[in-house]
Structure 1
């Protein structure tokens, strides 16, 4: 751990990649935002709340409260001028958060530009992915692509590589790999005991059938599959129907590729679609050949599916959480009444059980959302992760944040959103926010603290490895694959971080007691993930932190949400229309911060040269091309394009999920 903390950021980028370095900075941003906010809240708001006596007056009307509520805005009397402190500090929190985001945006944008300029030459810098190629009955797809770009980009076009449908070839290669693995296993077994050659049954799962020599059998199978693979590869390259309407087009200069990406190629906006080609290791090959019209339909279907998933998932979550309460247990299991009345058991049920049940319900959700993103047709893994992360965050917002705040039974929670008018929702949620502070404190401890602690143990990976080792591992290669830690699941971790940004910004002016728990999470998570990134995880691809604008935008949205709910809360305290400051906060801040987020995103895109942003700085492309020509005047660009812009041959590197292959022709 000390060595990981001492590693400079430049070395961290060289070691783990720019994606990992920016991911760690998200935790630092949390500390930069919430440490000053916590100091202000505890020095001003906590004394203001504590010295009020609103809850004492409420007790006269049999309203129950806890000691934590005395530190919240709930303890301030209705109509009190002390609400000015909360209002003014909300402005201070907003300006401070925007200042930190602005400085971080400038820092990360400059780091990203320096990273891309300092990188060695990559084939994807010169390569464009072209989709929805219009067919020509008189030419092959590769000939059609070459003719199109020779006419429209004659000075910069270099070559193209068509994407092939190689489903059968993939299956053959996977089968050969399986046979080779069995051969290695029996060969290893024979080298340890040469007195008897191993034998295997040819029946179902090797349980019955004729016994044959294992090594001879698998050697014959491998040779047969090798011949079939060779024939299938030849057939795929010659089959016109196997050519997909997609191709990787390489250019002589980065400038030429940038111009191609930023221009519409034909009058038809759905034909000859161009985008920066991802790295070969980042391409999600099965989605390359999906037609443009099909993409639109798929995304519409997924939008509808996600809507129903989000708003109906709140029913089982709320139902289970209601059972995980004292009242729910007494009602559903009366025989447990003597047990749940004990103080320790009662504290555990009220404090941790709802958070644990909520965590269990969310275990399989990231996998579902990732599969939905794949169905939509995104062609790069980073795009898949960003879409899954966005939806996971929306799910957190609706089901974890709003769903946990609105009290009542499962169907009452759903009805509270469907039956109320839109202008009443902020008021309803605003009133409930202070009441739910205790629940979110325990949720942060269960999900945040325990989750980060579990990252140290890696208990899930430990169990999976031993199960694989027990049932699947036969050779050293199998063991290496089973031990591979993979990379950080960005689409799982980033939405959780954003939930804590949301909780911190919402509760800072309302119940500041929540902030120390959030600060501890950010600090603890930064230490642990820095160690894991340096010493455990293996980065599979590099997107140059293309996800950063999404992170920035979600923090801005959390600011807007916090202000809307504070307005809803103030409206119940007799202060909704008392000052022009609250009115201006309501009227102007959403549009101002939306513009701030959009400006930052555009700045990020225009400042950097990258394959995964909306625009590319042509000047930087020209400079990099000129420097490269000066250093290497005899550079063979065609060999460079061949080496990295297409997927490797299936026989060299493949898995069963890659259905479309780009084969060198």
Structure 2
């Protein structure tokens, strides 16, 4: 079990690591040849160019202005200078609201930390319960609730603090929810015109023997939305074509690499060669340039044939379409209402913005989604269950006695004080961090299999899985397995009835493990994020081997994004740890506060200068953030209730039952008060924005604007055969629905002015272009 000295060693290692990362970043960011690595966002926006250094050749690569090194920490105040409205314009609402999660952590935990250290730490410290027990403990555990004797009146203090902490957290959650909801509505109201504001995604279009999907969609919406339907775009299954395009792009990169290699060779007549086998390890040796040129020609032919097959084959058209309307109001009505008497057909939802669409999943049949999600749920259950094995291994590292029994020959080495402190104070945290590295990628693959069609939805779904995983394995798993390892001797020599009490006493003691994990992941890990070591290396490798033009150099930059699917659940783990241990082991709180402060500074800098978000959801993720913090509160309250029960606090324990009930009521209140702003778009706002836009730009050609917005990316490089867009005449008195349906061939379209129309035997009339 980690002692105060072990925590000190771990703190020293992680503080030095964090400082080393921050200093290295502060120096590397000043070098001209790293400018595109540390400021890619400004380059992508065309607001920054490569630094021009006069003088020696070395000045093009190394900053020789020694005065600039005197201000190498200037990035810290610079990261805080940009006001929030400007940050929203610069990086989007998603990024600005994401930063507010860290601010919320500071608002919640800074007052709680002061209050806990002023009241709870003295109450816990001024006891000697652990010294008189047979429980394994360290000096740091004397600051926890475990050091308070059973049936003590001092538990009233913990009860009152639990209520105070919960009420303060709820108050801050309410205020933050109110602010973010207001920010979202203001953002949507003031946002520039975007295709998704006018577009609805329609799924599960029913098959029809007389009409194609495109004709059926047009017919349905001309009948049911006659005054607002504008145009639509059917979805093609172009997944195979997309793979060919991706493979061709990779071949082009290799061709550029070998051509550049030949140009830079001292002997230009000597042509580069490669083996055609797996990874170039075996096979026939061929001329590299000729080989990749030939492969590209073959892929180009395959690509052209596949493109023609998709366009010419009706089976390539999926029962999915992006339907656009003349007004936001019309789109809002369609997206938020049931379209058919059969609730499983003509399913509508707001279309993601074009950048947000995950095209491969649009080709998945809607009927298979339920089966896919069931299979993924079962796979996730087994993944979570079997991951208990590495969690148990990590906890065994924190138990010196267990290591000595497993490897007796290491006993003398382990007993060296500095090595023992390293093993108990640093190794468990870094081991857990390593085991979790691949997990977000695995969970994202599982979310893609489930069939979500937007990148934002994929990230939110993956984040939900990751949070559940961290809750069950990292939090509960570490407590259970860690307690089993630490108190094994007690379990053996006591009756079964006393085991729950031992576990109850031991839960606060696991704070030492979580402290080491916070320092590894939340201190050194966050500081390592700003250094961007991996993108730095990859950029310079690409720059040396592949870059020939400015466009190549721009593509070599890897700005990345926030990574909501992995970053937000990690933040929620810190909320959970802070709320659970605020009452039982307050010594953990300062480590949480340092994390939130450092992370806010680092990620604000990254969002301003580095990250280039792939999409903008208008902070649609905030209800998930709020819900997970509420979950953490309820877990903390239930664990405290169980802990006080094992401590035989009969008078104070029953009063804690009210707290989870009040927290759930608060969550339902906030859900009803604020969540609609994140799910539905008010018709009032839609109409107001439509009126203002028509008054400002009455002649805007909306159909031309929306015409190619939702075309699959692999088709976007094709020229539009029409050559120009035709302005839609909105003032038609009577238009008949274009259809090839035999049974309802002449369905009339009602006039937008409300005139009656009766069925007639008029011939087919196509929509007037």
TM-score by length of 2: 0.77
Equivalent runs, 1:57-456 vs 2, <5 Å: 59=132, 61-185=133-257, 188=260, 199=271, 204=276, 214=289, 226=300, 229-323=303-397, 325-406=399-480, 407=482, 430-456=504-530
Q: Which runs of 5+ in 2 are unaligned?
A: 1-74, 719-769
Q: Offset at 1:643?
A: 4.2
From the superposition, tell whether residues 95 and 144 of structure 1 become closer, same or farther in structure 2 (CA, over 3 Å).
same
From the superposition, tell whether residues 172 and 290 of structure 1 become closer, same or farther in structure 2 (CA, over 3 Å).
closer
Conservation of the 8 A alpha-carbon contact between 2:515 and 2:591: yes
CA distance in 1, matches of 2:654, 2:384: 32
Conservation of the 8 A alpha-carbon contact between 1:325 and 1:354: no
Q: Offset at 1:224?
A: 6.3
500-509 vs 461-470, which deviates more?
461-470
Match of 2:659 in 1: 589
Of residues 688, 696, 705, the one that matches 1:623 is: 688
331-340 vs 287-296, which deviates more?
287-296
CA distance in 2, matches of 1:208, 1:89: 71
From the superposition, tell whether residues 410 and 159 of structure 1 become closer, same or farther in structure 2 (CA, over 3 Å).
farther
Equivalent runs, 1:399-548 vs 2, <5 Å: 399-406=473-480, 407=482, 430-465=504-539, 473=546, 475=548, 480-548=554-622
Report the 3-state secondary structure (helix = DSSP H, G, I; strand = E; otherwise coil) of the residue aligned with 1:644. coil
**1:349-380 Cα distance to aligned partner (Å, 9 max, x none):** 12122222111111111111111100111110
CA distance in 2, matches of 1:546, 1:388: 15
Q: Offset at 1:388?
A: 0.9
Q: How many residues align?
A: 632
CA distance in 1, matches of 2:267, 2:418: 65
Q: Which runs of 5+ in 1 are unaligned?
A: 608-612, 654-665
From the superposition, tell whether residues 340 and 199 of structure 1 become closer, same or farther in structure 2 (CA, over 3 Å).
closer
From the superposition, tell whether residues 135 and 339 of structure 1 become closer, same or farther in structure 2 (CA, over 3 Å).
same
Report the 3-state secondary structure (helix = DSSP H, G, I; strand = E; otherwise coil) of the residue aligned with 1:640. helix
Conservation of the 8 A alpha-carbon contact between 1:606 and 1:617: no
Conservation of the 8 A alpha-carbon contact between 2:237 and 2:316: yes
Match of 1:44 in 2: 119
CA distance in 2, matches of 1:359, 1:172: 37
From the superposition, tell whether residues 344 and 333 of structure 1 become closer, same or farther in structure 2 (CA, over 3 Å).
same
Q: Offset at 1:650?
A: 3.6
From the superposition, tell whether residues 186 and 204 of structure 1 become closer, same or farther in structure 2 (CA, over 3 Å).
closer
**1:197-237 Cα distance to aligned partner (Å, 9 max, x none):** 7756697268876967947x766765665565445433322
Q: Offset at 1:153?
A: 1.0
From the superposition, tell whether residues 622 and 412 of structure 1 become closer, same or farther in structure 2 (CA, over 3 Å).
farther
Match of 1:644 in 2: 709
Of residues 104, 122, 136, the one that matches 1:29 is: 104
From the superposition, tell whether residues 529 and 203 of structure 1 become closer, same or farther in structure 2 (CA, over 3 Å).
closer
Report the 3-state secondary structure (helix = DSSP H, G, I; strand = E; otherwise coil) of the residue aligned with 1:328. helix
Conservation of the 8 A alpha-carbon contact between 1:55 and 1:70: yes
Query: What's the Cα RMSD here?
Result: 3.0
Conservation of the 8 A alpha-carbon contact between 2:352 and 2:454: yes
TM-score by length of 1: 0.88
From the superposition, tell whether residues 339 and 251 of structure 1 become closer, same or farther in structure 2 (CA, over 3 Å).
same
Match of 1:632 in 2: 697
From the superposition, tell whether residues 465 and 218 of structure 1 become closer, same or farther in structure 2 (CA, over 3 Å).
closer
Match of 1:659 in 2: none
**1:244-300 Cα distance to aligned partner (Å, 9 max, x none):** 111100011111111111111112222111111111111111111322321111111
CA distance in 1, matches of 2:382, 2:710: 39
Report the 3-state secondary structure (helix = DSSP H, G, I; strand = E; otherwise coil) of the residue aligned with 1:571. helix
Report the 3-state secondary structure (helix = DSSP H, G, I; strand = E; otherwise coil) of the residue aligned with 1:107. helix
Q: Offset at 1:154?
A: 1.0
